[in-house]
Structure 1
């Protein structure tokens, strides 16, 4: 059942969500009513606001059988990239905020995260395994340019020789090659760059504040030229909208130097389903019904099926065809590689100022 939506009281250029649906934890909901007055030109533009959070811990643990890591870090909550399909949108509900426009515009920064991380890594009994960053919200979203929280986190991980895997759509990651390249040379760092489409218009509509596809391809080239392994992530695959581009995306990424690839089909959990349907009906009215029909075919007749094992790959004939096409193209382009695990045996707690150094 769709949740009621609060109508925006400001103009929203450069935003993907069309509304602010009440989050699933609210006891009181608000429903927008069209009173016949349309005065958008008189409304102020909705700006991004950022609130600082002081975290008690920053390493989040998980036990999901669908993913290859058991711990992750989020430098930011919410994401200004504003991808309409983002499966992380419902996480904003835990903050009492909407998964809609709030997710894109009311951001939470964690400036103390590097300090807290160092404390956690120094804890007695800590056992290192790869930390994933960017698996919920993007660490290289626009505010990172000034906040530099992700860069400081990387410096901490480098100081501890701790392995890290990064997923991003942000070309800003190239700024941190000076930290990532030495880590990659030790087998401590790897990057995944997500490319959903090569069409600028589709990208701008669907992921309005993400660097355009060409910028992400340049980032792949810059990272690989520096010796950093990059996996291209064709994610999400949106049926009847971007699925026809899959082979071209893989080819462009291979030309840019990517060494491996993976893909995930579109997922629409919780409030994301209504947000995406509203968006696709307004943005692509001629094919909205077809897109949503294909989405439901991939998820057992529903907008989304959260079952482990199929939620990321889809199910049925369309899922099989997409996987077959992807596997054929990846093998042909040399991207069907299983990269070795990152090293955790180099982990070492660095001395703090004033500590006595070892003689051996």
Structure 2
């Protein structure tokens, strides 16, 4: 199999015309290249606007630390081959492979719908998680600004919100985030998978380069925004060697909170990841999958509540020890995400001002 330049999933014919190793930007430039240099063979990004009747998703999972989330986009142009959200595209009769990366959905009315939800008499606040399915700062956020609109509403209503991203695009909202931080209403997690820009382009082709993510963490800390590093996902024999280095780089930027997550391969992600391994790392594909299976009860993935987020076995224990030793040495600990829910105030609806 051959890879498609600028995409994570392996499918179709590869295009090497824009093989620019030094490119550090998000992926928008790839779609405009054809207009400049003539026709090229790569799947372009398309965006479909959707207008759902609800925007706040609730869950009762015992494995995650939040009970509600807002997903401004479906699909993700970052193209991370390991993304556990890929199977969600099958709900639209679309492929979890290239379709997930190229056929995106945006919800431009998200903030308006959320305003109606927060204004309901029975609503009770708790932190809203953004970036739990697809990245709220993927390239199309630059055009739609949906994430920013939700953050503006959270500031207006003093509603707590958390953000998880792989993009330094989050810095475009640093002023807004700093204002939210003044009221203890926000924390930002930036996930860093490796410190190797070339490996990052293979794993997550349209995400920001690792150095830019580390720099973004430092900018957020300087602005007074609680920012944490997530070494995620850790892929055995591919990215695990970067664990201590990522933590050290983040600590140098003033980051004091850190987490790690082992790779998960639910549903269609497993065959996509196997295909990616055979294409880019054929020399160790068998070893990688054997190690993943050893920490997932002999399977590619463990889907069970209570255990799916807790890898088991010798290899997982080794990563835990390495993480514990490194964070202790660097003065880092678990992220403090205790945000304030007591300041919440109902939003104005239909242009009417609140009496309180």
Same fold (TM > 0.5):
yes
- 1:247 is aligned, of 244, 269, 272, to 244
Q: Given the alignment of the two structures, is residue 157 of structure 1 paired with residue 135 of structure 2, yes or no?
A: no
Residues 163, 169 of structure 1: alpha-carbon distance in 2 compared, 3 angstrom cutoff? same
Q: Given the alignment of the two structures, is residue 299 of structure 1 paired with residue 291 of structure 2, yes or no?
A: no
- Where in structure 2 are there 5+ consecutive unaligned residues? 13-38
CA contact (8 A) 1:164 1:189 kept: yes
Q: Distance in 2 between matches of 1:253 and 1:127?
A: 35
The equivalences for 1:185-204 within 5 A come to 185-204=182-201
Q: Distance in 2 between matches of 1:256 and 1:205?
A: 26
Q: Distance in 2 between matches of 1:168 and 1:307?
A: 25
Match of 2:7 in 1: 15
Q: Distance in 2 between matches of 1:334 and 1:291?
A: 31
- 1:224 is aligned, of 190, 209, 221, to 221
Q: Distance in 1 between matches of 2:353 and 2:317?
A: 60
The equivalences for 1:58-77 within 5 A come to 58-77=55-74
The alpha-carbon deviation at position 324 of structure 1 amounts to 1.1
- 1:266 is aligned, of 263, 267, 271, to 263
The alpha-carbon deviation at position 44 of structure 1 amounts to 3.3
Q: Deviations over 1:156-189 (max 9, x none)?
A: 1111100001000011000101111011111100
The equivalences for 1:81-92 within 5 A come to 81-92=78-89
Match of 2:123 in 1: 126
Match of 1:309 in 2: 306
Q: Given the alignment of the two structures, is residue 176 of structure 1 paired with residue 168 of structure 2, yes or no?
A: no
Q: Distance in 1 between matches of 2:237 and 2:303?
A: 21
Residues 14, 125 of structure 1: alpha-carbon distance in 2 compared, 3 angstrom cutoff? same
CA contact (8 A) 1:183 1:189 kept: yes
- Where in structure 1 are there 5+ consecutive unaligned residues? 1-6, 21-41
Q: Secondary structure at the match of 1:81?
A: coil
Match of 1:28 in 2: none
Q: Distance in 2 between matches of 1:65 and 1:357?
A: 36
Q: Distance in 1 between matches of 2:350 and 2:265?
A: 48
Q: Given the alignment of the two structures, is residue 320 of structure 1 paired with residue 312 of structure 2, yes or no?
A: no
CA contact (8 A) 2:125 2:344 kept: yes
CA RMSD of aligned residues (A): 1.8
The equivalences for 1:45-124 within 5 A come to 45-124=42-121
**Paired positions, count:** 330
Q: Which moved more, 1:130-139 or 1:320-329?
A: 320-329
Q: Which moved more, 1:252-261 or 1:71-80?
A: 252-261
Q: Secondary structure at the match of 2:66?
A: coil
Q: Distance in 2 between matches of 1:348 and 1:293?
A: 52
The alpha-carbon deviation at position 43 of structure 1 amounts to 7.4
Q: What is the TM-score when the length of structure 2 is the normalising length?
A: 0.89
The alpha-carbon deviation at position 352 of structure 1 amounts to 5.0
Q: Distance in 2 between matches of 1:56 and 1:357?
A: 24
Q: Secondary structure at the match of 2:155?
A: helix
The alpha-carbon deviation at position 337 of structure 1 amounts to 3.4
Q: Deviations over 1:234-264 (max 9, x none)?
A: 0000001111110111111111121200011
Residues 178, 327 of structure 1: alpha-carbon distance in 2 compared, 3 angstrom cutoff? same
